[in-house]
Amino acid sequence: MGITGADSPDCTLDISEHLLRLITESLRLRSNETRSYQTLECLLEARNGSLARIRNRNMTTLKEHLVAIPTQGDIRIELHISQTSADCLEEVRDLLSKEMDTDLTVGDALSVLLFDYMSELIAARVLERLDLERLIPARIAIQPSSPSH
Protein backbone atom coordinates (compact mmCIF):
# COMPACT_ATOMS: atom_id res chain seq x y z
CA MET A 1 0.00 0.00 0.00
CA GLY A 2 1.28 3.44 -0.71
CA ILE A 3 1.12 6.65 -2.61
CA THR A 4 2.46 6.29 -6.15
CA GLY A 5 4.44 9.53 -6.00
CA ALA A 6 5.63 11.48 -3.00
CA ASP A 7 4.17 14.74 -4.30
CA SER A 8 1.38 13.25 -6.40
CA PRO A 9 -2.23 13.35 -5.22
CA ASP A 10 -2.91 10.17 -7.20
CA CYS A 11 -2.42 7.07 -5.12
CA THR A 12 -2.78 3.34 -5.39
CA LEU A 13 -3.85 1.43 -2.30
CA ASP A 14 -3.97 -2.31 -1.70
CA ILE A 15 -6.86 -2.66 0.72
CA SER A 16 -8.69 -5.39 2.62
CA GLU A 17 -12.17 -6.61 1.83
CA HIS A 18 -13.29 -5.06 5.14
CA LEU A 19 -12.06 -1.62 4.09
CA LEU A 20 -13.63 -2.06 0.66
CA ARG A 21 -16.96 -2.73 2.36
CA LEU A 22 -16.53 0.39 4.51
CA ILE A 23 -15.79 2.40 1.38
CA THR A 24 -18.77 1.09 -0.58
CA GLU A 25 -21.16 1.57 2.35
CA SER A 26 -19.87 5.10 2.89
CA LEU A 27 -20.38 5.88 -0.78
CA ARG A 28 -23.89 4.46 -0.73
CA LEU A 29 -24.77 6.58 2.29
CA ARG A 30 -23.15 9.70 0.81
CA SER A 31 -24.98 9.18 -2.50
CA ASN A 32 -28.27 8.86 -0.65
CA GLU A 33 -27.47 11.88 1.50
CA THR A 34 -26.69 14.09 -1.51
CA ARG A 35 -29.19 12.38 -3.82
CA SER A 36 -26.52 12.08 -6.49
CA TYR A 37 -23.90 9.50 -7.39
CA GLN A 38 -20.74 9.99 -5.32
CA THR A 39 -17.22 8.69 -5.79
CA LEU A 40 -14.60 8.14 -3.14
CA GLU A 41 -12.78 11.17 -4.49
CA CYS A 42 -15.95 13.29 -4.02
CA LEU A 43 -16.43 11.99 -0.49
CA LEU A 44 -12.82 12.74 0.41
CA GLU A 45 -13.21 16.24 -0.99
CA ALA A 46 -16.28 16.74 1.18
CA ARG A 47 -14.37 15.51 4.25
CA ASN A 48 -11.47 17.96 3.85
CA GLY A 49 -11.08 19.80 7.11
CA SER A 50 -11.83 16.67 9.16
CA LEU A 51 -8.58 16.93 11.09
CA ALA A 52 -10.10 18.97 13.93
CA ARG A 53 -12.97 16.50 14.36
CA ILE A 54 -10.63 13.52 14.30
CA ARG A 55 -8.28 15.20 16.78
CA ASN A 56 -11.23 15.37 19.19
CA ARG A 57 -12.18 11.71 18.78
CA ASN A 58 -11.32 9.12 21.38
CA MET A 59 -8.03 7.56 20.21
CA THR A 60 -8.90 4.25 21.86
CA THR A 61 -12.04 4.06 19.72
CA LEU A 62 -10.03 4.83 16.59
CA LYS A 63 -7.46 2.15 17.49
CA GLU A 64 -10.30 -0.33 17.97
CA HIS A 65 -11.69 0.65 14.58
CA LEU A 66 -8.34 0.03 12.89
CA VAL A 67 -8.12 -3.39 14.55
CA ALA A 68 -11.69 -4.28 13.54
CA ILE A 69 -11.29 -3.04 9.95
CA PRO A 70 -7.88 -4.14 8.71
CA THR A 71 -6.52 -1.82 6.06
CA GLN A 72 -4.06 -3.82 4.01
CA GLY A 73 -5.21 -6.47 1.60
CA ASP A 74 -5.14 -7.68 -1.96
CA ILE A 75 -7.80 -5.41 -3.49
CA ARG A 76 -6.19 -2.62 -5.46
CA ILE A 77 -7.89 0.75 -5.78
CA GLU A 78 -6.62 3.86 -7.48
CA LEU A 79 -7.53 7.31 -6.26
CA HIS A 80 -7.29 10.46 -8.33
CA ILE A 81 -7.72 13.08 -5.64
CA SER A 82 -7.11 16.78 -5.30
CA GLN A 83 -3.96 18.05 -3.62
CA THR A 84 -6.19 19.31 -0.79
CA SER A 85 -7.58 15.80 -0.22
CA ALA A 86 -4.08 14.28 -0.41
CA ASP A 87 -2.89 16.82 2.16
CA CYS A 88 -5.87 15.99 4.38
CA LEU A 89 -5.08 12.26 4.26
CA GLU A 90 -1.43 12.97 5.09
CA GLU A 91 -2.39 15.27 7.98
CA VAL A 92 -4.76 12.66 9.40
CA ARG A 93 -2.09 9.96 9.01
CA ASP A 94 0.52 12.14 10.73
CA LEU A 95 -1.83 13.05 13.57
CA LEU A 96 -2.91 9.46 14.20
CA SER A 97 0.65 8.13 13.95
CA LYS A 98 1.74 10.62 16.59
CA GLU A 99 -1.28 10.13 18.88
CA MET A 100 -1.19 6.34 18.63
CA ASP A 101 2.61 6.18 18.70
CA THR A 102 2.77 3.90 15.66
CA ASP A 103 3.43 4.17 11.95
CA LEU A 104 0.14 4.34 10.09
CA THR A 105 -0.54 4.37 6.38
CA VAL A 106 -2.59 6.54 4.06
CA GLY A 107 -5.03 3.61 3.93
CA ASP A 108 -5.39 3.80 7.72
CA ALA A 109 -6.09 7.52 7.43
CA LEU A 110 -8.71 6.82 4.76
CA SER A 111 -10.34 4.23 7.00
CA VAL A 112 -10.49 6.67 9.93
CA LEU A 113 -11.93 9.43 7.72
CA LEU A 114 -14.70 7.07 6.60
CA PHE A 115 -15.28 5.93 10.19
CA ASP A 116 -15.58 9.59 11.19
CA TYR A 117 -18.08 10.20 8.38
CA MET A 118 -20.23 7.21 9.32
CA SER A 119 -20.09 8.13 13.02
CA GLU A 120 -21.41 11.59 12.20
CA LEU A 121 -24.24 10.13 10.12
CA ILE A 122 -25.25 7.76 12.89
CA ALA A 123 -25.13 10.52 15.49
CA ALA A 124 -27.25 12.77 13.27
CA ARG A 125 -29.83 10.01 12.83
CA VAL A 126 -30.01 9.39 16.56
CA LEU A 127 -30.49 13.10 17.26
CA GLU A 128 -33.12 13.27 14.55
CA ARG A 129 -35.01 10.37 16.12
CA LEU A 130 -34.77 11.88 19.58
CA ASP A 131 -36.19 15.13 18.28
CA LEU A 132 -38.98 13.27 16.49
CA GLU A 133 -39.83 11.37 19.62
CA ARG A 134 -40.07 14.67 21.47
CA LEU A 135 -42.23 16.27 18.80
CA ILE A 136 -44.54 13.38 17.92
CA PRO A 137 -46.56 13.42 21.18
CA ALA A 138 -47.12 17.14 20.76
CA ARG A 139 -48.48 16.57 17.25
CA ILE A 140 -50.96 13.91 18.24
CA ALA A 141 -54.05 15.42 19.70
CA ILE A 142 -55.08 12.95 22.34
CA GLN A 143 -58.70 13.38 23.18
CA PRO A 144 -59.24 13.59 26.90
CA SER A 145 -61.16 10.65 28.19
CA SER A 146 -64.65 11.45 29.30
CA PRO A 147 -65.26 10.84 32.95
CA SER A 148 -67.40 7.81 33.47
CA HIS A 149 -70.25 8.17 35.93
**Domain regions of the chain by residue span:** 2-139
Cβ atoms of 136 and 90 within 8 Å: the answer is no
pLDDT digits (tens, 9 = 90+) for 27-84: 999 999 999 999 999 999 999 888 888 999 999 999 999 999 999 999 999 999 999 9
In terms of Cβ atoms closer than 10 Å to its own Cβ (0-12, 13-18, 19+), residue 92 is: buried
Question: What pTM was computed for the model?
Answer: 0.79
The predicted structure's pLDDT at residue 135: 63
**Mean of pLDDT values over 86-93:** 93
Distances, alpha carbon 85 to alpha carbons 18, 134, 147, in Å:
22, 39, 67
- In this predicted structure, the answer to whether residue 118 has a pLDDT above a threshold of 80 is yes
